[in-house]
Protein backbone atom coordinates (compact mmCIF):
# COMPACT_ATOMS: atom_id res chain seq x y z
CA UNK A 1 0.00 0.00 0.00
CA UNK A 2 1.36 3.37 -0.97
CA UNK A 3 1.15 6.36 1.33
CA UNK A 4 0.35 8.35 -1.81
CA UNK A 5 -2.76 6.28 -2.53
CA UNK A 6 -6.27 6.56 -1.13
CA UNK A 7 -7.62 4.39 1.65
CA UNK A 8 -11.37 3.91 1.56
CA UNK A 9 -13.20 3.01 4.77
CA UNK A 10 -16.84 1.96 4.68
CA UNK A 11 -18.84 2.59 7.84
CA UNK A 12 -16.22 5.23 8.55
CA UNK A 13 -18.35 7.68 10.50
CA UNK A 14 -18.65 5.57 13.64
CA UNK A 15 -17.34 2.61 15.60
CA UNK A 16 -14.35 0.60 14.37
CA UNK A 17 -14.47 2.35 11.01
CA UNK A 18 -14.13 5.77 12.65
CA UNK A 19 -11.29 4.61 14.91
CA UNK A 20 -9.45 3.20 11.90
CA UNK A 21 -9.99 6.35 9.84
CA UNK A 22 -8.70 8.51 12.68
CA UNK A 23 -5.59 6.39 13.17
CA UNK A 24 -4.71 6.20 9.47
CA UNK A 25 -5.38 9.88 8.83
CA UNK A 26 -3.18 10.81 11.78
CA UNK A 27 -0.44 8.63 10.25
CA UNK A 28 -0.53 10.81 7.16
CA UNK A 29 -2.58 8.65 4.78
CA UNK A 30 -5.24 10.05 2.48
CA UNK A 31 -8.40 8.54 3.96
CA UNK A 32 -11.88 8.73 2.47
CA UNK A 33 -14.77 7.59 4.64
CA UNK A 34 -18.20 6.57 3.42
CA UNK A 35 -21.28 5.72 5.46
CA UNK A 36 -25.01 5.19 5.01
CA UNK A 37 -25.42 8.14 7.41
CA UNK A 38 -22.28 10.19 6.68
CA UNK A 39 -20.90 12.32 9.48
CA UNK A 40 -17.46 14.00 9.54
CA UNK A 41 -14.79 12.95 12.02
CA UNK A 42 -13.87 15.94 14.15
CA UNK A 43 -10.18 16.61 14.61
CA UNK A 44 -8.88 14.49 11.72
CA UNK A 45 -7.98 15.04 8.08
CA UNK A 46 -10.19 12.15 6.96
CA UNK A 47 -12.21 13.12 3.90
CA UNK A 48 -15.96 12.61 4.22
CA UNK A 49 -17.77 11.42 1.09
CA UNK A 50 -20.97 13.42 1.60
CA UNK A 51 -23.45 11.17 -0.22
CA UNK A 52 -25.03 8.24 1.68
CA UNK A 53 -23.22 5.05 0.65
CA UNK A 54 -25.36 1.89 0.64
CA UNK A 55 -23.00 -1.09 0.58
CA UNK A 56 -25.88 -3.50 -0.10
CA UNK A 57 -26.78 -1.84 -3.42
CA UNK A 58 -24.69 -3.08 -6.34
CA UNK A 59 -25.49 -0.04 -8.49
CA UNK A 60 -24.69 2.38 -5.67
CA UNK A 61 -21.38 0.66 -4.87
CA UNK A 62 -20.16 0.51 -8.47
CA UNK A 63 -21.09 4.13 -9.16
CA UNK A 64 -19.79 5.33 -5.80
CA UNK A 65 -16.40 3.66 -6.15
CA UNK A 66 -16.00 5.11 -9.66
CA UNK A 67 -16.86 8.61 -8.40
CA UNK A 68 -14.52 8.35 -5.42
CA UNK A 69 -11.59 7.24 -7.57
CA UNK A 70 -12.32 9.98 -10.09
CA UNK A 71 -12.23 12.56 -7.28
CA UNK A 72 -9.40 11.17 -5.13
CA UNK A 73 -7.35 8.83 -7.31
CA UNK A 74 -6.90 5.05 -7.22
CA UNK A 75 -7.89 3.26 -4.04
CA UNK A 76 -4.84 1.42 -2.72
CA UNK A 77 -6.32 0.34 0.60
CA UNK A 78 -9.83 -0.71 1.58
CA UNK A 79 -11.38 -1.33 4.99
CA UNK A 80 -14.82 -2.92 4.91
CA UNK A 81 -16.14 -1.80 8.29
CA UNK A 82 -19.79 -1.12 7.39
CA UNK A 83 -22.11 -3.48 9.21
CA UNK A 84 -25.07 -3.96 11.49
CA UNK A 85 -25.14 -6.04 14.67
CA UNK A 86 -27.45 -9.00 14.94
CA UNK A 87 -30.77 -9.13 16.77
CA UNK A 88 -30.72 -11.66 19.60
CA UNK A 89 -33.62 -14.08 19.19
CA UNK A 90 -34.51 -17.71 19.63
CA UNK A 91 -34.66 -19.42 16.25
CA UNK A 92 -38.47 -19.38 16.12
CA UNK A 93 -38.51 -15.57 16.47
CA UNK A 94 -36.03 -14.82 13.68
CA UNK A 95 -37.80 -12.66 11.10
CA UNK A 96 -36.57 -13.25 7.59
CA UNK A 97 -36.67 -9.57 6.71
CA UNK A 98 -34.23 -8.96 9.58
CA UNK A 99 -32.11 -11.91 8.43
CA UNK A 100 -32.00 -10.48 4.91
CA UNK A 101 -31.05 -7.00 6.16
CA UNK A 102 -28.11 -8.30 8.22
CA UNK A 103 -26.82 -10.63 5.50
CA UNK A 104 -27.26 -7.98 2.81
CA UNK A 105 -25.23 -5.39 4.70
CA UNK A 106 -22.66 -7.55 6.50
CA UNK A 107 -21.92 -10.16 3.82
CA UNK A 108 -23.29 -8.97 0.49
CA UNK A 109 -22.07 -5.43 1.19
CA UNK A 110 -18.57 -6.60 2.07
CA UNK A 111 -18.39 -8.67 -1.11
CA UNK A 112 -19.76 -5.92 -3.36
CA UNK A 113 -17.32 -3.27 -2.15
CA UNK A 114 -14.35 -5.66 -2.09
CA UNK A 115 -15.14 -6.80 -5.64
CA UNK A 116 -15.61 -3.29 -7.00
CA UNK A 117 -12.36 -2.03 -5.47
CA UNK A 118 -10.33 -5.22 -5.82
CA UNK A 119 -10.93 -5.67 -9.53
CA UNK A 120 -9.43 -2.24 -10.14
CA UNK A 121 -6.48 -3.00 -7.86
CA UNK A 122 -5.82 -6.28 -9.66
CA UNK A 123 -5.94 -4.68 -13.11
CA UNK A 124 -3.48 -1.99 -11.99
CA UNK A 125 -1.24 -4.57 -10.24
CA UNK A 126 -0.69 -1.88 -7.65
CA UNK A 127 -0.07 -4.05 -4.60
CA UNK A 128 -3.32 -3.05 -2.92
CA UNK A 129 -4.57 -4.27 0.44
CA UNK A 130 -8.10 -5.03 1.63
CA UNK A 131 -9.17 -5.69 5.21
CA UNK A 132 -12.64 -7.03 5.93
CA UNK A 133 -14.10 -6.63 9.41
CA UNK A 134 -15.56 -9.98 10.43
CA UNK A 135 -16.24 -11.01 14.05
CA UNK A 136 -15.52 -13.73 16.58
CA UNK A 137 -19.27 -14.36 16.23
CA UNK A 138 -18.45 -15.81 12.81
CA UNK A 139 -16.06 -18.26 14.48
CA UNK A 140 -18.36 -19.36 17.31
CA UNK A 141 -22.10 -19.69 17.94
CA UNK A 142 -24.75 -17.52 19.53
CA UNK A 143 -28.41 -16.43 19.34
CA UNK A 144 -27.63 -13.85 16.60
CA UNK A 145 -28.33 -16.24 13.78
CA UNK A 146 -28.03 -14.05 10.68
CA UNK A 147 -25.04 -12.15 12.06
CA UNK A 148 -23.01 -15.27 12.84
CA UNK A 149 -23.76 -16.67 9.38
CA UNK A 150 -22.88 -13.40 7.66
CA UNK A 151 -19.61 -12.95 9.52
CA UNK A 152 -18.61 -16.56 8.87
CA UNK A 153 -19.22 -15.78 5.22
CA UNK A 154 -16.97 -12.72 5.44
CA UNK A 155 -14.14 -14.91 6.75
CA UNK A 156 -14.66 -17.35 3.88
CA UNK A 157 -14.78 -14.77 1.08
CA UNK A 158 -11.63 -13.19 2.52
CA UNK A 159 -9.73 -16.40 1.80
CA UNK A 160 -11.29 -16.79 -1.63
CA UNK A 161 -10.52 -13.23 -2.72
CA UNK A 162 -6.97 -13.54 -1.38
CA UNK A 163 -6.46 -16.54 -3.66
CA UNK A 164 -8.23 -14.83 -6.57
CA UNK A 165 -6.04 -11.72 -6.56
CA UNK A 166 -2.80 -12.84 -4.92
CA UNK A 167 -0.82 -13.06 -8.16
CA UNK A 168 -1.99 -9.58 -9.10
CA UNK A 169 -0.37 -8.14 -5.97
CA UNK A 170 -3.58 -7.63 -3.97
CA UNK A 171 -3.67 -8.85 -0.37
CA UNK A 172 -6.99 -9.60 1.34
CA UNK A 173 -7.26 -10.24 5.08
CA UNK A 174 -9.87 -10.05 7.82
CA UNK A 175 -9.96 -9.04 11.45
CA UNK A 176 -12.42 -10.59 13.87
CA UNK A 177 -13.07 -8.26 16.80
CA UNK A 178 -14.41 -9.58 20.06
CA UNK A 179 -16.85 -7.55 22.11
CA UNK A 180 -15.63 -4.03 21.36
CA UNK A 181 -16.47 -0.84 23.26
CA UNK A 182 -18.19 0.97 20.43
CA UNK A 183 -21.05 3.38 21.01
CA UNK A 184 -23.47 0.68 19.86
CA UNK A 185 -22.17 -1.82 22.43
CA UNK A 186 -22.19 0.79 25.18
CA UNK A 187 -25.81 1.60 24.31
CA UNK A 188 -26.69 -2.08 24.63
CA UNK A 189 -25.03 -2.22 28.04
CA UNK A 190 -26.77 0.97 29.17
CA UNK A 191 -30.17 -0.38 28.10
CA UNK A 192 -29.66 -3.63 29.99
CA UNK A 193 -29.74 -5.76 26.83
CA UNK A 194 -26.07 -6.65 27.41
CA UNK A 195 -24.12 -7.26 30.60
CA UNK A 196 -20.58 -5.90 30.60
CA UNK A 197 -19.30 -8.39 33.19
CA UNK A 198 -20.69 -11.35 31.27
CA UNK A 199 -19.09 -10.06 28.06
CA UNK A 200 -15.67 -9.61 29.67
CA UNK A 201 -15.55 -12.62 31.99
CA UNK A 202 -14.88 -15.33 29.36
CA UNK A 203 -11.92 -13.43 27.87
CA UNK A 204 -8.38 -14.33 28.88
CA UNK A 205 -7.68 -10.64 29.59
CA UNK A 206 -10.97 -10.10 31.48
CA UNK A 207 -11.97 -7.02 29.53
CA UNK A 208 -13.62 -5.65 26.41
CA UNK A 209 -11.68 -4.65 23.29
CA UNK A 210 -11.09 -0.98 22.51
CA UNK A 211 -11.95 0.23 18.98
CA UNK A 212 -8.42 1.61 18.57
CA UNK A 213 -6.97 -1.84 19.24
CA UNK A 214 -8.88 -3.19 16.27
CA UNK A 215 -7.83 -0.16 14.23
CA UNK A 216 -4.15 -0.84 14.97
CA UNK A 217 -4.49 -4.42 13.73
CA UNK A 218 -6.20 -3.17 10.56
CA UNK A 219 -3.45 -0.59 10.01
CA UNK A 220 -0.83 -3.33 10.26
CA UNK A 221 -2.65 -5.52 7.74
CA UNK A 222 -2.80 -2.59 5.32
CA UNK A 223 0.86 -1.70 5.77
CA UNK A 224 4.04 -2.98 4.10
CA UNK A 225 4.97 -4.55 7.45
CA UNK A 226 2.47 -7.34 6.65
CA UNK A 227 3.56 -7.68 3.01
CA UNK A 228 3.76 -11.48 3.23
CA UNK A 229 0.35 -11.90 4.86
CA UNK A 230 -2.81 -12.65 2.89
CA UNK A 231 -5.91 -14.77 3.39
CA UNK A 232 -5.81 -14.71 7.18
CA UNK A 233 -8.46 -13.95 9.78
CA UNK A 234 -6.93 -12.19 12.78
CA UNK A 235 -8.98 -12.25 16.00
CA UNK A 236 -8.67 -9.09 18.10
CA UNK A 237 -10.72 -10.33 21.02
CA UNK A 238 -8.82 -9.89 24.32
CA UNK A 239 -8.53 -13.68 24.37
CA UNK A 240 -12.25 -14.43 24.05
CA UNK A 241 -11.75 -17.49 21.85
CA UNK A 242 -8.84 -18.72 23.99
CA UNK A 243 -10.68 -18.24 27.27
CA UNK A 244 -14.30 -19.07 26.62
CA UNK A 245 -13.97 -22.86 26.93
CA UNK A 246 -12.26 -22.67 30.34
CA UNK A 247 -15.63 -22.52 32.10
CA UNK A 248 -15.83 -26.29 31.61
CA UNK A 249 -12.65 -26.65 33.71
CA UNK A 250 -13.62 -24.36 36.56
CA UNK A 251 -12.91 -21.02 34.93
CA UNK A 252 -9.91 -18.91 34.10
CA UNK A 253 -7.24 -18.45 36.78
CA UNK A 254 -6.96 -15.11 38.51
CA UNK A 255 -3.76 -13.10 38.27
CA UNK A 256 -1.29 -14.03 41.06
CA UNK A 257 -1.26 -11.72 44.04
CA UNK A 258 1.81 -9.51 44.29
Q: Enumerate the active-site residues.
A: 147
Which of 102, 81, 86 is closest to 34 using CA atoms? 81
Give the Cα separation of 147 and 202 in Å (integer).
20
Crossing angle of helices 145-165 and 96-103, rounded to 10°: 30
How many other CB atoms are there within 10 angstroms of residue 233's CB atom? 18
Using CB atoms within 10 Å of the CB of residue 98, give its burial: 0 to 12 exposed, 13 to 18 middle, 19+ buried. middle
Which of 10, 42, 15, 13 is closest to 188 using CA atoms? 15
Give the Cα separation of 82 and 96 in Å (integer).
21
Amino acid sequence: MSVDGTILITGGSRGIGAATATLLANQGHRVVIVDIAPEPLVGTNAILWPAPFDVASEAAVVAGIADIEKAHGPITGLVNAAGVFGKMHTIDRVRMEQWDREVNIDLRGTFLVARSVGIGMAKRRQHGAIVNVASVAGMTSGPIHAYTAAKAGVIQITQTLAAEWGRSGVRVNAVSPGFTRTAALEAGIASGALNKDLLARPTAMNRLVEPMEVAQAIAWLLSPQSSGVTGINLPVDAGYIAGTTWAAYGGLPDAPRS
